[in-house]
Copies of this chain bind each other. A is one copy, B any other.
Amino acid sequence: MLGETTRNRVSERREATRKEILEAAWALARERGLAQLTLRDIADRIGMRPPSLYSHVDSKNAIYDAMFAQAWTECLAQMRASEATCPPDSGGALRHYARAFFDFATSDLARHQLMNQRTIPGFEPTPAAYAPAVETLDLARTRLATHGVTTQPDLDLYVAIVGGLIDAQLANDPGGDRWSRLLDRAIDMFATDIGVGTSGREKRSDP
């Protein structure tokens, strides 16, 4: 019926505009910094007047919220995809998942600031946007549990080590590999500590 097709076309147009807004926001966040986002710049980039954005998003924080959900959804997908190439041994698996998250986080500074730091003054993600983040952590918990990371303190330590290397890499050597080269070694340290073998990789190598 006509009403249906009309509503679909309008609905598609609205969704396309919303997507255009988010893409402009990501581009500007990467160019000028996440906190420097302004509604006027976003509107300019897509040929709109600033107030018109309010026809598609509720507020600036709603844009951050959608970006937050988008980033963690993408991260969750990437983590799930990483399972296909995961080595069978536990030591290798611990390195594999750490590397997957490390590479994802360090490949986009603005995205990492939004996902893992609280760099935006008034922004707090909504429960809906936070959902894929907790799902990612749940996935990690399940995966790592099958490779010897069974207790909460063990998982906390694993997360802190990987997070520390990510932050150091982005803060002190963005685009480089000074801390990236230390990741495998750090995970092997951790694996030894929890009693997981690190076969297939000699100790103390630092290529």
Contact = CB atoms under 8 A, between A and B. Distances in A.
Interface of A: 33, 35-36, 117-119, 121, 153, 156-157, 159-165, 167-168, 171, 178-179, 181-182, 185-186, 189-190, 192-193, 204, 206
B179 A168 contact: no
A50 to B, nearest CB: 19
Nearest to A157: B182
Contact of A159 (B118, B153, B168, B192): B168
A153 B182 contact: yes
B168 A182 contact: no
A117 B157 CA distance: 21
Contacts of A153: 181-182, 206
A160 B156 contact: no
Q: Which of A33, A159, A193, A204 has the largest number of chain B CB atoms within 10 A?
A: A193
A171 B118 contact: yes
A165 B161 CA distance: 7
Contacts of A161: 160-161, 164, 186
A85 to B, nearest CB: 26
Nearest to A186: B157
Contacts of A182: 153, 156-157, 160
A58 to B, nearest CB: 22
Given A164-B167, A189-B189, A121 B36 contact: yes
Nearest to A159: B168
